[in-house]
Structure 1
Amino acid sequence: MPEKGGRAVCFVCREAVFLAGDGDSWIGFAQCQLRSDYVEGTQTCPVGYLEGIYVELEYRRRGIAARLLDACEAWAAEQGCTEFASDAEISNRVSRSFHKSMGFTEAAEIVHFAKKLPGFQSGSGDKDVIS
């Protein structure tokens, strides 16, 4: 991994961000955190969780994402975690393939639902009660 990568650049409470760089450019990142809520497929608490990982297209398939993930997993282990988890959109074949190649197993396929609640305006960011 280029010299800018390989260490956390930001620790906020129970979260870490790792960056990969090439010269003066950032080419990838991984964000992870500790989760104490229920995490599909795990049995312990807290669980290290990969919230996001990205490597610029022209730098892919060089092991950069794997090293970023390794950094996240090492950080989680240092925090006392014995399990590490992640998620991917059902339709994101690239992400699902990456996860499987990194030793993850699929724990579940979940569909999320959302709806607007009556009585609230949306759009401004502030929620005003409509009488």
Structure 2
Amino acid sequence: MEISFVAGFGPITRDGDAARAFWGAGLGITLEEPAPGYLTNDDLDGVKAFALWPLSQAADSTFGSAQWPADVPVPQAWVEFDVATVGAVADAVAELTAAGHRVLKEATEEPWGQTTSRLLSPEGLLVGVTFTPWMH
């Protein structure tokens, strides 16, 4: 697998108001809200996207339910590594599966046009291997 760049990073939030107060008001990161509860900054130097992602939305995008499964450790943050093509996402899933990693979500095109797959790192990060067309 060849990673092109880090597409985004951020905490997975459980308390949206507390998260907004810390990351927005506390650290001074300007946050936009393109979807209810999803706060993002796509102009922060050093990363393509920094976003506060509610746990319920991460669960829905990964498992199709707003509830995080009880048998999967709850992640503290997310990071997405972008690859060169949509096909490279599926190739990465096959490579990760062959190496014995538990893939939580196979390569899937999201409603917003990004193709994603997801797994948990040993440290508990929700890791995406993605193709984000508008970032290429």
Same fold (TM over 0.5): no
User: Which structure has greater helix proportion?
Assistant: 2
User: Which structure has greater strand proportion?
Assistant: 2
Normalising by structure 1, we get a TM-score of: 0.26
Q: Which has the larger radius of gyration?
A: 1
Normalising by structure 2, we get a TM-score of: 0.25
Between the two structures, name the one with larger relative contact order (CA 8 Å, sep ≥ 6): 2
